[in-house]
Amino acid sequence: MLEILKNSEYVVLDLETTWLIPYREWITEIAAIKCRDWEIVDEFQALVNPERHIPNWIVKLTWITNEMVADAPTIGEIMPIFSEFLGNAIIIWHNVSFDFRFLNYYHYQCMWSYLENKTICTLKIARRLLPQLPNKKLWTICEYFWITNERAHRAMWDTRATLKVLQRYQMMVNTEQIHWNC
């Protein structure tokens, strides 16, 4: 399953949003780490002005305040730059069903095309490799692997944590000779 990453370019990605539904809510932060052959080659991080008020409970969760995004570029300004950064790379994220809906929705709104990138979900991998965990939240998996994520719910911190989780999965697959497909 992770063999697909060998000799491939992939991007570990995370978004922060104002809530759950793409067409009613907005992206407030995008972070991504581009890798080739398990080596980091580039990073992307941007706060996004949602052009709307960020609810107080989201501010408490993400630490992203309305003041922080007031002068940030809008998603319409960021998406062409981010789309170029992303290219055709495989996208890796934790809980693909959430983030992909947002990114794809806004990609279409700004670029008039849907993303066609292959995706890998570290949450789905956890369901197969770590069935003993009580849940498959990123913080639970990080705790299991002794990975520190000091700023959970900030995009770059979660992206770095997801990359470390992916590396631990690769080590498990290599040392235990696990063979399966996602």
Q: Which residues are known catalytic residues?
A: 153
DSSP 28: E
Paired tokens of 174: 């290599």
Residue 147 near residue 158 (C-beta atoms within 8 A)? no
C-alpha–C-alpha distance, residues 92 and 163, integer Å: 8
C-alpha–C-alpha distance, residues 1 and 79, integer Å: 29
Paired tokens of 122: 């570290």
DSSP string, 32-83: EEEEETTEEEEEEEEE-B-SSPPPHHHHHHH---HHHHTTSPBHHHHHHHHH
CA 123, 128, 130, 134 dihedral sign is: positive
CA 152, 158, 164, 165 dihedral sign is: positive
DSSP H or E segment with residue 21: none
